[in-house]
Structure 1
Amino acid sequence: MSKEIYLDGNATTCVLPAAIDAAVQAMRDCFGNPSSTHATGLKAKAMMDIVRQRAKRLLGVGSGRIMFNSGATEGIQTAVLSALCALRERRDSGEATGSLLVYGATEHKAVPEALAHWNRLLGLGLELKKLPVDADGRHDLAALRALAPQAAFVCTMAANNETGVVSDLVGIGATLAASKALWMVDCVQGLGKLPLDLGNTRIDYAPFSGHKLYAPKGIGMLYVREGAPYTPLVMGGGQEAGLRSGTENMAGIAALGAVLAALEEGGTFRPPAELYGFRDKLAASLRAALPGIVFNAPFDKALPTTLNFSVPGLSSKELLDVFDAANVRVSAGSACSAAKAAPSYVLDAMGLPAWRSSSAVRMSFGPLASEEIIIEACARIERCGQALRAAGLLDVPAATAANAPEGVLQLSLAGNHTWLLLDAPSRQCVVIDHQEELGERIDSLLRSHGYQVAARVSTHDGAAAGDSIVFGAHTVRHVTLEAHQHAYLLCRGDKVDYAFTGLAPWSALAGRIPDDALVCAGREELNACCTSLRAEEIGGALGVDLNLDSIALARLLEAHPQAVLVDVREVYEQAACIPGGRAAQSVPLSRLAAFVPGWLDAAEQPPLVFFCRSGNRSAKAAQCLRRLGYRNAYSLGGGIALASAALALAA
């Protein structure tokens, strides 16, 4: 496997070697409880005090306080609780406090969630109000000026985690100069990247998280301005001068101290000029590799370590998959929201078109990045572009005939399936259940391979159905089913090979197709790939554990040398991979239905071990084959991400 290129620094970073050493030393030699009064405890306390003083100098806190905690989320919770408790006390004493809890529309979700949580628990009944941002992602100061008289608490950020856009903190502070509102600034992305002089601002609270800058997870800091109200989130033994009870995370504090020392002493992290140069190199490679790319934040208003971009006709998942195949780690927005696969609320707030917010990719690196890594990243970006071109996913001149897809092709979006029936000799295509959101992708794919659309039909309303469609050596016959549903039968002569249906029950096809014809549904909930009437009747091998770990795979390959590894990643992912490891058959999951008949009809059925990046797609493939009666179908559990070494076995 090629070396991993990690470009997701805004989500988390590796741990600085000096930080690892400091944590180990703290656990080995400085293990005392800093609250103890004996020499071992005093030694631990002295180490902690050194780190705290270093943090105060770096952040320019003046007479403000720094407390250690578990990270930014705890810091945000503490700041919100402190501010809202103070507001309740002021209101109870008859003091005017304002009625609005104002937060930036592009804030990390931890902020509005914390505001809503404590507002409800404390019974304040204040109104949560989003502060809009402009097209560049910066806070609308005119809107803030209008809200300031009613604002009780204002939450903004130093730099945005998705776009890298740097906030105008001076402008925000000036706008709030006459307001009594308390002010929190999320400084998570600012540590080590922006000059911070907190003591000379009116910022009341500023949370930090160590793992965003080469410290371990589970350690962070909260700045509290002198005189700002404070309510402990955690009460108990009175540690951290009563600000946050609980025995301190000494290993984490020591590690964070090593990072802060590197910042203060210089020489470890790249200066801004080099970081800007790295970003320019990455941007140039992205422009060359991905025609039509659009960057979603202005470079002159963003951190030099963050690029956020969208590519017409490509989803963020497709881009993430091809980068991941090339061992380049990027993300689609915030790590905390990545699993939800929703459009970026940050880009939505900036007023960007829906296609850009739903297909955005974030590429970010830390100030420890090296020129060697950036150069290699640029080479792999260009490799990804070549892979996407060859697969017809980029709008480029027609691809070679050798790469043209043929047979049945499945495209899925939000649980809905679109099916393309492709006849390579005639270069004709029938589209079943076209989805508008996939239109550009389909048009680009067909155009790049020289296909023409013979017909577009729908299983929901029978649109453009007719009686039959002839294209190449195939015929597509239309069948009306119950409840205004329709089916389309792909035939070669009188033989029905496939039936495509929407939401109608399988029983509606009984008597109309052979029991062993493959049925391709229009919804994920009905079937992820394909099935048959016979398989649905007997229930297949559902519930059987089909997953193999690395050890089980090694044993299977040793016992069955004829076993076949099947890569179900898309062709552009496979093309982006750096060659190496055991040979595998290429059958993208979107093409699985085209290969199933050959496997089922084979005289011998050797073990098939499907694999992909994470194990999700390969599990669907193995389940499909087992359900159709292929007893030796398996999936590599965890995929390449967890078991990459397994694929090199017996190479």
Structure 2
Amino acid sequence: MSQTTNLSQIYLDANATTPVLPQAAQAAMDAMQDLFGNPSSSHITGLKAKNLMEQTRQRAKTLLGTGEGKLIFTSGATEGIQTGILSGLIKAKTQIKKGKKYSILYGSTEHKAVPNSLAHWNEILGINAEIKAIPVDQFGKLDLEFIQKEVGNALMICTMAVNNETGVYQDLQQLEQCIREGNSKVFWLVDCVQALGKRPLNLAKTSIDYAPFSGHKLYAPKGIGFIYIREGAPFTPFIAGGGQESGLRSGTENLPGMAALNVIFQMLLDTDNTTFYDLNTLNDYRRQLSHSLSQAFPDIVFNHQFNNSVPTTLNFAVPGFSSKEIMDLFDAANIRVSSGSACSSKVTRSFVLDAMGLPVWQSESAIRLSFGPAMTQEEVDSACARIRSAAKALTNSCLMLDDTEQTQDKTPLNGLVQLRSGSSCTWVYADMKSKQALVIDPLPELEKRIDTLLQCQQLTPVAILDTHGHADHISGRVALANKYLSTQQSDVLGWPTNTKKVAVGDESFSVLTIGELFLVKVPTPGHTDDSISLLLSSDPMNLITSTRYAFCGDTILMGSLGRTNFASSSSIDMYHSLKQINRLIGQQTLLCASHDYNNEFTTTLSAEVVRNCLLQSVLTGSINQSQFAARKADLDSNLNDETGTEILCGAYYGDCDKAQIKEYSSDSLKQRLTVSSDVKILDIREPHEYALQHKLDTVSEQSSTENSLNTGLNIPMTRLVQFIQEHQMEKESEWVLVCRSGSRSMVAAQAMYRLGFTNVAHLKGGYALSS
């Protein structure tokens, strides 16, 4: 079975949705062309349609062992969940005794459709029961002791058969025993969406009251699903109207969807059918895929146990890589995976893995690889080969080491690189000629990446520095310094003790050299008492005109000033440090902070004073230090202690709204390129994305848009700050940024626009929508 019409694509996101089986698609088409009658009509065309509908229902009932229970067709799992919850809670409301406290229970790893629906109907119906999440252990198994303790006062309990993110399945028999011993009458809904075709179900032999299913999770079209309702379980129609489905669910029936399901049910019931593979085969597929992942990423961590999860789901994280980076890597190799649950488009931490108590980095970096039971051995072999190829391409970006390749094959590094973990930033400056490097504010999560980068580029660090003592993490500096600078004597922030002094006006500062440049250390206390700023300059005697980058830690952040309410903080000191920075550097010098909370990359004093009125008041001298301290204390009092797992080191004081950037479609950009030779294309994909794409191009025709853009500059986002610094004189040029999907190019274009690149645009949808 081919899972895609694009021969180069490997689709491994089946838990989000599956391609429609050719046989199911044909059945749907036949229904639209030949069995188009309304099943409610009494003429022959309608009767034939109704016969197909009832045949599909009967096959589903046989497959699921529903016995005398009802099986009602729906638009999908969400409607099924609403139907079950509404039915159970309406009946439960009639049984409430005055003065007694009640609860509604749901598994903490449930799909969000369940707790959100519970909260909605609990409020709408005026039940106002306490909604409680059932904890899970590190393996994703529901806490039976918690259920035993709470279920006695529960009106309803909702669990799931198979988790959509991890593939972890619950022992329904054990769970049922626990529930019914504590409350024989509580209404029980089990989300069975991910169990269909992957786990045996015999619903009539359980006391499950409601079980929703969705067709598009198992090779049927979107828009068709069904729900099982146990015989005798209360039922209230979620949709009323025309009386279809014997009045249980009104609305004209989705016959093409049912026809597709009918074919799939037939295949599942036919033990001789070779479309769907048995559990042993699927387990072998998982073994092959997990082995290839482990070969590709030796440090990989799987976020679930294989012995209590279905074989069609692999959830993993790679130390040192964000989920976005792995997704971009796989997408460049034409492998489709997802970050956690694909039901949310925003890449964030996985609440499922959080509930399992896994480390934060695993939750933030989680990748879900999932396939369906119709996966073929040929597809598995292709996926395994492509995964290994994708990981190998990381050597082009020096994100992984490969001893079999020569370093001259790597993309050379000469200049500034911005590495990130969450909103925290590490800066690496490399001088290709001298093979020297600076590492500033190294994060512990990035220790291995920094080490790999230094080895891959054969760089020797002259210093590994912190701009201040960090309150929200332990610095990665010590471990790196022990490896590369074990004989160097330095202070607590890593500054070498034997550096020279340079006079700047009436002051003198410590300075060290890297290649032909100088790094000047400037004490700038305030955020902390040990805060320093590091100015990378070509002429330390004339910092205002020669400073390229000012690594200012958390003194000045994008749209913000560092907080000054730590025990080691001083707002008075910050007041003077801000004036000191302003005296030393130019208004267009790029400020490279330790945190970037709003994806703005870098900033300048001229850009900040426009939106940061407090900073403007300090630099213009319109307030004194006492006034600054009072206003700063007021602003800091509004800070939340944390954002995610990081201490928030600064509050937004100015307008951080994103600019409206001009967007090109594929066609409009092609047209623009034909009429103007002045357009400059800036491709911000990473080097490994190029390597993978070029490999794919040898077996498939490159999109015409990508072909036409190959003459553009390649500036990865990690090197965008250096690009901005080097192109200060080209701010009025017409730049068009492109990437894989358009998301990175939009963010980068907004950053450039804020810093004065007034004629910047981006390709909406990126290369993904350009073919």
The residue identity in structure 2 corresponding to 1:513 is I
Q: What is the CA-CA distance between 1:491 and the residue it aligns to?
A: 0.5
**1:477 pairs with 2:486:** no
Question: How far apart, in 1, do the equivalents of 2:597 and 2:367 lie?
Answer: 28
Describe the shift of the 1:631–1:129 C-alpha distance in structure 2 as closer, same or farther (beyond 3 A).
closer
Q: Is the 8 A contact 1:8 1:362 kept in 2?
A: yes
**1:378 pairs with 2:424:** no
The residue correspondences of 1:542-553 to structure 2 (distance < 5 A) are 545-553=661-669
Aligned partner of 1:61 in structure 2 is 66
Query: Aligned match of 1:454 in 451, 460, 463?
Result: 463
- Secondary structure of the residue aligned to 1:66 is strand
Aligned partner of 1:49 in structure 2 is 54
Q: What is the CA-CA distance between 1:608 and the residue it aligns to?
A: 4.6
Query: Aligned match of 1:285 in 284, 292, 307?
Result: 292
- Secondary structure of the residue aligned to 1:234 is coil
Aligned partner of 2:417 in structure 1 is 409
Query: Aligned match of 1:233 in 235, 238, 255?
Result: 238
Q: What is the CA-CA distance between 1:480 and the residue it aligns to?
A: 6.2
Alpha-carbon deviations, 1:17-74, whole Å to 9, x = none? 1222222222222222222333333232222111111111111100001001111111
Q: Is the 8 A contact 2:661 2:749 kept in 1?
A: no
Aligned partner of 1:648 in structure 2 is none
The residue identity in structure 1 corresponding to 2:309 is A
Q: Which shows bigger deviation, 462-471 or 584-593?
A: 462-471
Question: How far apart, in 2, do the equivalents of 1:390 and 1:477 lie?
Answer: 32
Describe the shift of the 1:396–1:208 C-alpha distance in structure 2 as closer, same or farther (beyond 3 A).
same
Q: Is the 8 A contact 1:290 1:394 kept in 2?
A: no
Question: How far apart, in 2, do the equivalents of 1:197 and 1:533 lie?
Answer: 68
Q: Is the 8 A contact 1:2 1:327 kept in 2?
A: no
Q: Which shows bigger deviation, 543-552 or 462-471?
A: 462-471
Q: Is the 8 A contact 2:462 2:514 kept in 1?
A: no
Q: Is the 8 A contact 2:659 2:750 kept in 1?
A: no
Aligned partner of 1:591 in structure 2 is 719
Aligned partner of 1:342 in structure 2 is 348
Q: What is the CA-CA distance between 1:599 and the residue it aligns to?
A: 4.3
Question: How far apart, in 1, do the equivalents of 2:342 and 2:121 lie?
Answer: 24
Please, which runs of 5 or more residues in structure 1 have no aligned partner? Answer: 646-651
Question: How far apart, in 2, do the equivalents of 1:17 and 1:448 lie?
Answer: 47
Question: How far apart, in 1, do the equivalents of 2:469 and 2:749 lie?
Answer: 29
The residue identity in structure 2 corresponding to 1:324 is D
Q: Is the 8 A contact 1:477 1:488 kept in 2?
A: yes
Question: How far apart, in 2, do the equivalents of 1:577 and 1:29 lie?
Answer: 44
The residue correspondences of 1:303-452 to structure 2 (distance < 5 A) are 303-339=310-346, 341-394=347-400, 400=407, 402-446=410-454, 448-449=456-457, 450-452=459-461
Question: How far apart, in 1, do the equivalents of 2:51 and 2:590 lie?
Answer: 72
Describe the shift of the 1:84–1:526 C-alpha distance in structure 2 as closer, same or farther (beyond 3 A).
closer
Describe the shift of the 1:296–1:597 C-alpha distance in structure 2 as closer, same or farther (beyond 3 A).
closer
Describe the shift of the 1:30–1:415 C-alpha distance in structure 2 as closer, same or farther (beyond 3 A).
same
Describe the shift of the 1:124–1:545 C-alpha distance in structure 2 as closer, same or farther (beyond 3 A).
closer
Aligned partner of 2:690 in structure 1 is 574
Q: Is the 8 A contact 1:131 1:144 kept in 2?
A: yes
Q: What is the CA-CA distance between 1:124 and the residue it aligns to?
A: 1.9
**1:173 pairs with 2:176:** yes
Question: How far apart, in 2, do the equivalents of 1:273 and 1:116 lie?
Answer: 40
Q: Which shows bigger deviation, 386-395 or 620-629?
A: 620-629
**1:117 pairs with 2:149:** no
Q: Is the 8 A contact 2:439 2:461 kept in 1?
A: no
Q: Which shows bigger deviation, 525-534 or 470-479?
A: 525-534
Aligned partner of 1:635 in structure 2 is 762
**1:488 pairs with 2:538:** no
Question: How far apart, in 1, do the equivalents of 2:548 and 2:315 lie?
Answer: 45
Q: Which shows bigger deviation, 606-615 or 238-247?
A: 606-615
Question: How far apart, in 1, do the equivalents of 2:751 and 2:117 lie?
Answer: 43
The residue identity in structure 2 corresponding to 1:577 is Q
Question: How far apart, in 2, do the equivalents of 1:187 and 1:635 lie?
Answer: 42
Describe the shift of the 1:395–1:312 C-alpha distance in structure 2 as closer, same or farther (beyond 3 A).
farther
Describe the shift of the 1:432–1:554 C-alpha distance in structure 2 as closer, same or farther (beyond 3 A).
same
Q: Is the 8 A contact 1:480 1:487 kept in 2?
A: yes
Q: Is the 8 A contact 1:532 1:628 kept in 2?
A: yes
Q: Which shows bigger deviation, 48-57 or 148-157?
A: 148-157
Aligned partner of 1:302 in structure 2 is 309
Describe the shift of the 1:525–1:90 C-alpha distance in structure 2 as closer, same or farther (beyond 3 A).
closer
Aligned partner of 2:166 in structure 1 is 163
Aligned partner of 1:513 in structure 2 is 585
Question: How far apart, in 2, do the equivalents of 1:636 and 1:300 lie?
Answer: 45
The residue identity in structure 1 corresponding to 2:536 is L
Question: How far apart, in 2, do the equivalents of 1:384 and 1:87 lie?
Answer: 53
Q: What is the CA-CA distance between 1:191 and the residue it aligns to?
A: 0.7
Describe the shift of the 1:550–1:154 C-alpha distance in structure 2 as closer, same or farther (beyond 3 A).
same
- Secondary structure of the residue aligned to 2:549 is strand
Describe the shift of the 1:173–1:530 C-alpha distance in structure 2 as closer, same or farther (beyond 3 A).
closer
The residue identity in structure 1 corresponding to 2:199 is L
Q: Which shows bigger deviation, 178-187 or 78-87?
A: 178-187
- Secondary structure of the residue aligned to 1:577 is helix
- Secondary structure of the residue aligned to 2:30 is helix
Question: How far apart, in 2, do the equivalents of 1:280 and 1:385 lie?
Answer: 18
Tell me the TM-score normalized by structure 1.
0.88
Q: Which shows bigger deviation, 241-250 or 607-616?
A: 607-616
Q: What is the CA-CA distance between 1:407 and the residue it aligns to?
A: 1.0
Q: Which shows bigger deviation, 274-283 or 625-634?
A: 625-634
Describe the shift of the 1:297–1:532 C-alpha distance in structure 2 as closer, same or farther (beyond 3 A).
closer
Q: Is the 8 A contact 2:591 2:604 kept in 1?
A: yes
The number of equivalent residue pairs is 638
Describe the shift of the 1:532–1:129 C-alpha distance in structure 2 as closer, same or farther (beyond 3 A).
closer
Aligned partner of 2:102 in structure 1 is 99
Aligned partner of 2:489 in structure 1 is none
Q: Is the 8 A contact 1:476 1:488 kept in 2?
A: yes
Question: How far apart, in 2, do the equivalents of 1:404 and 1:305 lie?
Answer: 40
- Secondary structure of the residue aligned to 2:95 is helix
Describe the shift of the 1:72–1:427 C-alpha distance in structure 2 as closer, same or farther (beyond 3 A).
same
Q: What is the CA-CA distance between 1:625 and the residue it aligns to?
A: 4.9
- Secondary structure of the residue aligned to 1:336 is coil
Query: Aligned match of 1:28 in 16, 24, 33?
Result: 33
Q: Which shows bigger deviation, 432-441 or 207-216?
A: 432-441
The residue identity in structure 1 corresponding to 2:324 is K
Question: How far apart, in 2, do the equivalents of 1:239 and 1:412 lie?
Answer: 55
Q: What is the CA-CA distance between 1:569 and the residue it aligns to?
A: 1.6
Q: What is the CA-CA distance between 1:222 and the residue it aligns to?
A: 0.4
Q: What is the CA-CA distance between 1:555 and the residue it aligns to?
A: 2.2
Question: How far apart, in 2, do the equivalents of 1:533 and 1:399 lie?
Answer: 42
Aligned partner of 1:556 in structure 2 is 672
Query: Aligned match of 1:529 in 574, 596, 601?
Result: 601
Aligned partner of 1:618 in structure 2 is 745
- Secondary structure of the residue aligned to 2:50 is helix
Q: What is the CA-CA distance between 1:252 and the residue it aligns to?
A: 1.9
The residue identity in structure 1 corresponding to 2:146 is A
- Secondary structure of the residue aligned to 2:180 is coil
Question: How far apart, in 2, do the equivalents of 1:249 and 1:619 lie?
Answer: 40
Q: Quick one: percent identity of the two aligned structures?
A: 45
Q: What is the CA-CA distance between 1:575 and the residue it aligns to?
A: 3.0
Q: What is the CA-CA distance between 1:438 and the residue it aligns to?
A: 4.1
Query: Aligned match of 1:38 in 31, 38, 43?
Result: 43
Query: Aligned match of 2:195 in 190, 195, 198?
Result: 190
Q: Which shows bigger deviation, 461-470 or 437-446?
A: 461-470
The residue identity in structure 1 corresponding to 2:742 is G
Q: Is the 8 A contact 2:320 2:445 kept in 1?
A: no
Q: Is the 8 A contact 1:291 1:394 kept in 2?
A: no
Alpha-carbon deviations, 1:201-248, whole Å to 9, x = none? 111110001110011111110000000011111222222122212222
Alpha-carbon deviations, 1:471-527, whole Å to 9, x = none? 332212345679658643221124222334453679966554345544445554677
Aligned partner of 2:618 in structure 1 is none
Question: How far apart, in 2, do the equivalents of 1:315 and 1:216 lie?
Answer: 32
